[in-house]
Amino acid sequence: MIDIAVLRADPDRVRENIRKKFQDSKLPLVDEALALDEKRRALQTEGDALRASRNALSKQIGLLMREKKADEAEKVKAQVTADAARLAEVEKEAEDAGARLKAVMMRIPNFISDETPIGENDTQNVERERFLEPKVPDFEVPYHVDILEKLAGIDLDSARRTSGQGFYYLLGDVARLHSAVLAYARDFMIGKGFTYCIPPFMIRSDVVSGVMSFEEMDGMMYKIEGEDLYLIGTSEHSMIGRFMNTTLPAAQLPLTLTSYSPCFRKEKGAHGLEERGIYRIHQFEKQEMIVICKPEESEMWYDKMWRYTVELFVSMGIPVRTLECCSGDLADLKYRSVDVEAWSPRQKKYFEVGSCSNLTDAQARRLGIRYKGEKGTAFAHTLNNTVAAPPRMLIAFLENHLNADGSVDIPEVLRPYMGGTQKLMPRS
């Protein structure tokens, strides 16, 4: 959510930003917000005048009573009663206008960075860097489910019976590898100075509406029937929500946190969910990183955070590249975002395994996350980034470490988490 003062001062800048995001249908929101803001401020001015009048009239009543001018005092009392009734109306109208204004402002997208390429969708994202040389082996790389099945590591049929499409059972060494990657990612981030956290896996609606746009919420979140609770789509939701309506001492910033959680997503409108495979699913686990910092530090942390993910993948021998997300591919709260994509030897192309985002103060403004320094109180900046999210990371891992005989090499950094295992062997 942007600052209403910025909208008042330069509405054309807001309109231009909406156009850059190819969301022209939201242009009327600017005038709607301005009208509601003007109405709310006029009501607040009227309310202030009524309160001042009430105070003055109350003093006048006391004076008239002391002078034994009862009739005149009664007339003033009648005016006070009328003003009180109007004040109640004004306060209610101002509250309603404020609520409507907030709802409109929450639909206006955050300003994008000058570094963000202008483009309508993800096909216009811009490649920035590559890390490790992508390779294609001299044997055919099977589909990832075939690799998993030869390792006796997956059961999709049973998951369809118990839970439906978009779920899976991981088994044996593959399940252990999945947990090993998450444990390694956890320790990797702790080694970078981040504080490890396991958050709640359900959050209330006021947190949901604070951490994401309405469009994202509709397409992602599962609601718990009969309760004001939603299953989280990523631990960022409850991790950032932890600081809702708080003012942090400036000396505590930056807060650097890494969190583990299962993630639940409807994947509404996603294509290919019914296809065989585990690329896009309803339930998965993830190691995340979150930073809350001062505004002048957020771009520095943005650059650090995506590089941590790159470093993690490179340490496991997985080639990756980074893509700067274009304007039309940014969610409403995002100022800037970079996708990390891993190399797929089977497809001979890269695919997304994580995303790093700087939301500036847009999310903090919705949630009321402030910090207090020498110059007063201001909204903090919030950032989030994927460290590792099996099973997509698992797909990249298996394809890049597969041997011709169907075995899968375990890189040295993961062996302590695998009981010293150096290779997964296929089973007949």
Exposed / middle / buried, residue 406 (Cβ in 10 Å: 0-12, 13-18, 19+): middle
* DSSP codes joined into one string, 286-330: EEEEEEEE-GGGHHHHHHHHHHHHHHHHHHTT--EEEEEPPGGGS
* Cβ neighbours around 39 below 10 Å, total: 17
Nearest to 367 by CA among 296, 292, 304: 292
Q: Going residue by residue through the chain, which has 428 residues, state the pLDDT in tens, using 9 for 90 and above.
A: 899 999 999 999 999 999 999 999 999 999 999 999 999 999 999 999 998 888 888 778 778 777 778 778 778 788 888 888 999 999 999 999 999 999 999 999 999 999 999 999 999 999 999 999 999 999 999 999 999 999 999 999 999 999 988 899 999 999 999 999 999 999 999 999 999 999 999 999 999 989 987 777 777 889 999 999 999 999 999 999 999 999 999 999 999 999 999 999 987 655 554 456 888 889 999 999 999 999 999 999 999 999 999 999 999 999 999 999 999 999 999 999 999 999 999 999 999 999 999 999 999 999 999 999 888 999 999 999 999 998 899 999 999 999 999 999 999 999 999 999 999 999 86
pLDDT recorded at residue 276: 62
Token pair for residue 233? 């789509």
Q: What is the pTM of this model?
A: 0.90
Per-residue pLDDT at 273: 42
Domain locations along the chain: 4-105, 122-424
- What is the SS3 assignment for 392? helix
Fold match, 4-105 / 122-424: no
Q: Which CATH architecture has domain 4-105?
A: Orthogonal Bundle (1.10)
**Top CATH class, 122-424:** alpha beta
